[in-house]
Amino acid sequence: MDSVTQAVLGAGIQGALLGRFQGRKALLYGGALATLPDLDVLVRYADPVSSMTYHRGFSHSAFVLTGLAAVLAWLVRRRWPQAPYGAGRLFLTLFLVLVTHPVLDAFTVYGTQLFWPLAWTPESWSAVFIIDPVYTVPIALAVIAAAIAGVTPGTRRAMAATLVFGTLYLGAGLAGRWHAESRVEAALRAQGVQPVRMLATPMPFNTLLWRVMAKTADGAYYEAVSGWFDRGPPEMLRLPLHPEVGQALAGVPLHERLRWFTSDWLRYDALGDALVVTDLRMGIAGYYTFRFVMAERGADGAWHPVTPRRWPSDRGGAPQLKRILARIAGTEAPLPLADWAVQALR
């Protein structure tokens, strides 16, 4: 999630649990500590694929952060042995402030190495968009109220209530993903299409409208759109994955790492003399966040792997967002998937 959400979440947790003892300082301590895992962005890597796939790694590990919470709790108790709260309450607070950061990140589609150093595919539960005001605003308002009025019993209860609401909202996001995938799978099977893998992810800033991808065994995938308020079938568009183009990168370490990180939700396009690899999970149809040149065509006509670099990509803007917001209310305002998909060929 975005840094503002992480900060107010940490402030809300520490304010609710330790605000009675620390006052407004609890909000400051919790907000600062909650952003600590994202300091891994300061580490510089030689290429954008490494930057992407090593982000949310060791600093987002539940094991590492649990150990850090224990060390910090010990240091605080050693420095302030007469503090009016117990070691158990202190550890629980620090643990929740730190560990909820990567857990919340895991609810997005990006991918979080929650169990580093275990070499599991990063957790990507795809239940909320990376910025979701419905989740963030209530917690932020409660924290702001506590900062202005003081950490009183009332503001502590307000922060606790918004934390419970946020947890329920994340659960609703998981239900929304299941609902979207189920609708699209049923629509495909009704057409005689047998999807082999599916992934739904919420469209920007909401959990009411979902983008759904479905892979087929013949090297293609479907881009689909499904909403909670739809009265008609999902919109769908069949597109190629071009796996034969991707064979030129077989065995290339950074390509294999990208496949692992994205759970192989990749598309390959030969754009002129560049072999462009697209992470299909991030963005909307045709407007993808992460695209990389990973090979170039040589004088011999063959593909040769290169140090990855970013391929210029259009992430969309106000016109696309306006169509998405209109589409939430139903299928009377269908998204122009065919037109948008052309962006992927540029």
pLDDT tier at 105 (50, 70, 90 boundaries)?
very high
Report the domain count for the chain.
2
Residues 220 and 286 in one domain: yes
Residues 63 and 194 in one domain: no
The amino acid sitting at 104 is L
Sign of CA dihedral 15, 99, 288, 338: negative
Residues 312 and 201 in one domain: yes
Tokens of 164: 């419970």
The torsion angles phi and psi of 344, rounded to 5 degrees, stand at -70, -15
Q: Does 300 map to a domain?
A: yes
pTM of the full predicted structure? Answer: 0.93
How much is the pLDDT for 125? 97
Q: Does 137 map to a domain?
A: no
- Torsional class of 263: left (φ above 0), alpha (ψ -120 to 50), beta (otherwise): left
Distance CA 322, CA 327 (A): 9
Residues 185 and 115 in one domain: no
Residues 230 and 311 in one domain: yes
Residues 16 and 102 in one domain: yes
Nearest to 261 by CA among 116, 65, 91: 116
Tell me what percent of the residues of the chain surpass a pLDDT of 70. 99
Secondary structure (3-state) at 100: helix
Cβ neighbours for 266, distance < 8 A, ≥ 6 positions apart: 241, 246, 258, 259, 277, 278, 279, 280
Residues 210 and 325 in one domain: yes
Residues 186 and 328 in one domain: yes
Last residue of a domain, one of 104, 125, 146: 125
Cβ neighbours for 330, distance < 8 A, ≥ 6 positions apart: 227, 229, 230, 231, 232
Q: Do residues 214 and 162 touch, judged by C-beta distance below 8 A?
A: no
**Residue 318 half-sphere exposure toward CB, CA atoms < 13 A:** 0
pLDDT tier at 286 (50, 70, 90 boundaries)?
confident
Q: Beta strand 283-284 with 287-288: parallel, antiparallel or unpaired?
A: antiparallel
Which residues, listed in sequence order, are joined to residue 213 by a DSSP beta bridge?
A: 199, 223
**Residue 323: Cβ-neighbour burial (10 angstroms; 0-12, 13-18, 19+):** middle
User: CA angle, corner 263, sides to 171 and 127, nearest 5?
Assistant: 15
Per-residue pLDDT at 61 exceeds 90: yes
Last residue of a domain, one of 109, 125, 141: 125
Candidate from 117-121, 167-171, 265-269 with smallest mean pLDDT: 117-121
Residues 100 and 229 in one domain: no
Per-residue pLDDT at 195 exceeds 90: yes
Distance CA 315, CA 288 (A): 6
Last residue of a domain, one of 125, 159, 187: 125
**Residue 158 half-sphere exposure toward CB, CA atoms < 13 A:** 19
How much is the pLDDT for 4? 95
Residues 233 and 330 in one domain: yes
127-151, pLDDT tens digit by residue?
999 999 999 999 999 999 999 999 9
**What is the residue range of 21's domain?**
3-125
DSSP element (H, E) containing 159? helix 153-190
**Per DSSP, which regions of 216-273 are E strands?**
220-227, 235-240, 266-271
